[in-house]
């Protein structure tokens, strides 16, 4: 399954940010997908979520969202530093497709089978639509504006949170309002 163009663009942005000549995040995701598709014949998609500075970004690619009948979510927080909420999820079109793999992964991760979430995420895109790289960047640019205004990075985050609380519109809304004061047409 080809990675959608929008996700390829996001991964290219992040590959540039990574600054490592050896790593192409699109190729890495393709490799994970190739491997999981060997293990699970009815695999239809993958989602990866990670959190930085309190902001979550979720990347997903699923062929035929309405046809998802099985999912396996693997918490990765113990294996990825400074990101306790990180996880990866795989999706399949056949019910029970991940039962055996979940057992193998639980063994391999020294986790209880209950630590892996089976078949609880059968409507993936509807849950992750706000956790985009675009929103992540917008919030961090707002933080940058506040840093230039005299805050530390930590203080800027706190100030943005305060403004969001006052406005009642959430962190993204506060960031959009702040960025518009500099760039009215983002």
| CB 45, min distance to other proteins, A | 14
Per CB under 8 A, 183 contacts other proteins = yes
Q: What is the distance between the alpha carbons of residues 162 and 155, in angstroms, rounded to a whole number? A: 10
CA dihedral of residues 98, 102, 108, 110 (deg, nearest 10)? 170
Q: What are the residues whose beta carbons fall under 8 Å from the beta carbon of 175, sequence distance 6 or more?
A: 138, 139, 141, 142, 143, 160
Q: Which of residues 117-136 bind other proteins (CB under 8 A)?
A: 133, 136
In whole angstroms, what is the distance from residue 126 CA to residue 26 CA? Answer: 23
By the rule CB under 8 A, 104 interacts with other proteins: yes
Q: How far is the CB of 96 from other proteins (least distance, A)?
A: 18
112 part of the interface to other proteins, by CB under 8 A: no
Q: Which two tokens stand for residue 84?
A: 């306790």
Residue 21 dihedral angles phi and psi, to the nearest 5°: -65, -20
Q: Work out whether 6 is an interface residue with other proteins (CB under 8 A).
A: no
- Choose, by CB under 8 A, the member of 6, 9, 113, 182 that binds other proteins: 182
Binds other proteins by CB under 8 A, chosen from 2, 129, 152, 173: 152
CB nearer to other proteins: give 69 or 131: 131
Query: Would you say 54 or 95 has its CB closer to other proteins?
Result: 54
**Helix residue ranges per DSSP H, the chain:** 5-18, 25-39, 99-108, 124-128, 133-148, 153-167, 170-182
Asked if 185 interacts with other proteins (CB under 8 A), we say yes
Binding footprint of other proteins, residue count (CB under 8 A): 66
Q: How far is the CB of 66 from other proteins (least distance, A)?
A: 25
Q: Is 174 in the site for other proteins (CB under 8 A)?
A: no
């Amino acid at each position: 399954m080809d990675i959608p163009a929008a996700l390829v663009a996001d991964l290219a942005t992040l590959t540039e940010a990574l600054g490592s000549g050896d790593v192409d995040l699109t190729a890495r995701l393709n490799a994970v997908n190739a491997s999981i598709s060997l293990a699970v014949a009815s695999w239809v998609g993958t989602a990866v979520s990670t959190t930085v500075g309190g902001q979550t970004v979720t990347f997903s690619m699923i062929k035929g969202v309405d046809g998802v009948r099985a999912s396996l979510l693997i918490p990765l927080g113990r294996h990825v530093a400074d990101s306790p909420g990180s996880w990866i999820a795989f999706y399949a079109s056949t019910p029970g497709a991940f039962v055996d793999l979940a057992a193998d992964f639980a063994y391999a991760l020294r986790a209880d089978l209950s630590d892996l979430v089976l078949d609880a995420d059968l409507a993936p895109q509807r849950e992750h639509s706000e956790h985009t790289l675009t929103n992540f960047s917008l919030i961090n640019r707002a933080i940058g504006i506040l840093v230039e205004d005299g805050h530390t990075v930590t203080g800027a985050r706190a100030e943005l949170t305060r403004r969001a609380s006052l406005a009642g519109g959430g962190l993204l809304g506060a960031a959009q309002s702040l960025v518009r004061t500099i760039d009215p047409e983002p």
